[in-house]
Amino acid sequence: MSKPSSAAVTPIHKIQGSELFSPLAGAVVATRGVVTGTTRKGFFIQDPRGNRHDPVSHGLFVFKRRGKPPVGSVVAVAGKVVDFQQDDNGRPTTQLVEDATRVLDKKGPRIEPVWLTAERVLVPPKDLATYLNSLEGMLVGVLAGSTFVAPSNPYGDYVILPPDADVVRTQFGGVLIDPRMPEQWLPSFRVLGYTDAPTVNVGAELLDSVVGPLNFRVASFQIAAVSPVRVRHVEIEARTTTLRSAGSFVTVLTLNGFNLDTRVEDKARVKDPDRDVDDDVGDGRFDGLGRAIAKDAGGPCIVALQEIQDNDGAELSETVRADRTYEALIAAVLQAGGPTYAWADIPPEEGADGGQPGGNIRNAFLYDPRRVRIVDGTLKRLGTTSPAFEGSRKPLAARFRLVDGQGELEIVNVHLASKRHQNGLFAPSEPGFDPRRAVRVQQAEVIGAHVAPLRESEVDYYVTGDFNDFEFSDTLRALTGDHSVNLVESVPAPLRFDYNHRGLSEALMHGVVAKRQLVGRTVEYEILHANALLGTPPGRQGQKPSDHAYVIARLQLA
């Protein structure tokens, strides 16, 4: 390794500066410390003489992609101080862009980690941000006996709940989102080597403590784990519904296709070759969704689909039809022992409805023509002239009539504006602010205006899909008012979730009906949780059929 410059040694806590920026940004400095961990982009050092109870960090990230020194060694490093900011509203992080590194000692003094206990991290967000800012880059740890509250993902990320945490739990050991504090941080760590990263289901137990430097990435704090991960695993069985359609009872499954298409995209024809190329057929996602529909959901009368892409997936073209996607999914259902479905959609205009570039995402229906048919002239897209739906997925409405009976049901299949642009919990300004929250409320009002005359004429309706919002949100309140009910709220709280966001189990799928539909009639609602609990093998993309659980309702028609 090259030798560092002869600049005077600057203590790490001086380089770190305040919690939002370093006063030394732009300066070339020399510093030294013990190497505490690595990432793909560099390594962390910490001053072993620093007091870990100081309000300023004694750890620092050094940007250096190749030739990283070994963990535990003492190094002298010289380089330029920068305040790295991932996006315009992102939180700046102080880094040293390495110019020269020298190993002074192969084995440095042991550094005791700061333990991220429940008492220290389950605090109000503002206090938490201040506390974690003071630890950024320093060696921290999570204790053995912690519970995994998110399933493992393809990137080697894990979220845990420290022992003795006083939070509301799901039936499976997860953490249920708290309406009083919906933005909550739970300790997380990343394992760099996929071969060392176990596949973990929600509810598993951490057998040994995990330590590593506290990194800030993707708008949140995360431990860059340097210790092995040993787990007491739990098995999760796929739950199958007992709800069946018969007579005047209709079953409706709500299923997010997770950008489903049959195409293996050409890298030269997509916006982002690293993100926009996948093989949903080869990865078995069609087979998985086929089994979910045929077996887990028992071959329902109607399937309300979201995130269906066009025939060439994320390729940037004029293609908007998605018939190949439906045909492949229908074949997979049939192969799994389900009915032969018909399909219905109205394609969006090219590039007009948001989602993955080139995918022309839309909502759609599968339906069993032996049980129901679509009433002529009722298939329509809502909100096509509303500013609330500009650049956003349009709801798809259709009225279904029983083949052997007079009962009718209008279904509005929705996928409301995403939370993707929401400020993170640690954003420097307006933490947690969601600029699309008001948009979702406006979208709910448009949908409400569509179902109001149905209610007045006593036509049954069911509004379902991915609302990207919670049952206690203004979005759902705008839609239900005092005239409708959200069937999610009939589910016991420990089971009321279909999605896991950084360890928080939450309901984003909903099912809204008029109150009068519950009078003297049977309406049932279930969430088939397994898909939101099962871990994905790290390093393996496309292993899950969907990122949501599946939701099914059984509605008795008048």
Residues 199 and 254 in one domain: no
Residue 125, domain member (yes or no)? yes
Please give the average per-residue pLDDT across 225-247, as a whole number.
94
Burial class (CB in 10 A: 0-12, 13-18, 19+), 523: middle
The CATH number covering residue 84 comes to 2.40.50.140
Residues 147 and 88 in one domain: no
What pLDDT does 418 receive? 94
The CATH number covering residue 339 comes to 3.60.10.10
CA distance 494 to 527: 11
Question: Which tokens hold the place of 431?
Answer: 């933490």
CA distance 114 to 208: 16
Residue 509 phi/psi, 5-degree rounding, is -85, 140
Residue 314, domain member (yes or no)? yes
Please give the average per-residue pLDDT across 13-38, as a whole number.
86
Structural domain count of the chain: 3
Residues 225 and 257 in one domain: no
Residue 16 has pLDDT above 90, yes or no: no
Residues 141 and 76 in one domain: no
Q: What is the pLDDT of residues 396-432, one digit of tens each?
A: 999 999 999 889 999 999 999 999 889 889 988 888 8
Q: What is the pLDDT of residues 277-326, one digit of tens each?
A: 999 999 999 999 999 999 999 999 999 999 999 999 999 999 999 999 99
Residue 244, domain member (yes or no)? no
Residue 5 has pLDDT above 50, yes or no: no
SS (H, E, C) 196-234: HCCCCCCCCEECCCEEEEEEEECCEEEEECCCCCCEECC
Residue 1, domain member (yes or no)? no
Residue 3, domain member (yes or no)? no
Taking alpha carbons only, the member of 147, 157, 158, 170 closest to residue 529 is: 170
Residues 305 and 435 in one domain: yes
pTM of this structure = 0.94
Residues 204 and 280 in one domain: no
Q: Which structural domain, as residue segments, surrounds residue 179?
A: 114-232
Average pLDDT, the chain: 94
Residues 474 and 392 in one domain: yes
Please give the average per-residue pLDDT across 196-220, as a whole number.
96
Phi-psi region of 207 (alpha: psi -120 to 50; beta: other; left: phi over 0): alpha
